[in-house]
A and B are shown apart, each in its own frame.
Chain A
Amino acid sequence: MWIYEKKLQYPVRICKPDTRMAKLLMTQYGGPDSELAAGTRYLTQRFSMPDDRVRATVNDIGTEELAHWEMIGTMIYQCMRGASREDIKAAGLDGYYTIHDCGVFPVDANGVPFTTAYIQCTGDPIADLHEDLAAEQKARATYEHLINMTDNPDIIDPLRFLRQREVVHFQRFGECLSIVQQIMCNKHAMSNAAAPYSRSAYSK
């Protein structure tokens, strides 16, 4: 169950149209390292996580990603709001406009639509957590690329917030990985303690 709160996690106020940045921001709405990919990745991986602390982390970061997805959607919406057809054409968004008008649809910066092939759920917590760590770093790098592409302070400010969240999430997923590795170490130690019996069984 989710409850909606009618506010953004961090304020977004983009006063003037900026169709060039709208196009680039789409990559964090529907691209491979988008907030949509992050949210669906974690919220679907949580079912097969082996520890309460890890389940809580994956669940709660997945939930926070949906709030980030909403922020990016708001940024795209506000960057397209009031844009002229000339602005849309100049930004290379004429193809997008033909299909979606100024609707906010999950595609990447090149117009490639979102696919769940961007995410994985192996059911193996070590593999899944490594993917999550990589995803946070890829999103951090993407935010830095986006910040490098503009000098619009209304856009840079929320992007800096979102970039920082990737760093915190990476930290928490790293702790989750240590927790899971410790659990597996303990299991391994227990099976080693039983080893003399199995060895003797083999030696016969």
Chain B
Amino acid sequence: MDMTQNALLMKISEAEFVCVELNLYLNTHPDDEDAQADYYSYSVKLRNLIERYEEAYGPLKNFGHSPTMTGEWARSRWPWEV
């Protein structure tokens, strides 16, 4: 895994962490409009980062959530193999 790939994966993890955290917060505070707005903006950011990653390095998700025709899913490295 090269440096650029790693850096992009780290950015995805950061945006995703914000989304996980806000998602859990919003579950018990569903009417907090500031948190809703942050959740929306980080969700869009996360989607864009994942699209950028997948265009360069192949699918990140299975079962049709990362459109691909190349069979790269099985061949790309598993996360414990770093």
Contact = CB atoms under 8 A, between A and B. Distances in A.
A4 B24 contact: no
A53 to B, nearest CB: 5
Given A3-B63, A3-B65, A64-B20, A8 B79 contact: yes
Given A13-B82, A74-B79, A74-B80, A7 B60 contact: yes
Interface of B: 9-10, 12-13, 16-17, 20-21, 23-25, 27-30, 59-63, 65, 73, 76, 78-80, 82
Contacts, number: 68
Interface of A: 3-13, 53, 56-57, 60-61, 64, 70, 73-74, 77-78, 168-169, 172, 175-176, 179
B24 A168 contact: yes
B27 A6 contact: no
Most buried by A among B25, B60, B65, B80: B80
Given A74-B79, A77-B80, A7 B13 contact: yes
B24 A6 contact: no
Contact of B60 (A6, A13, A73, A169): A6
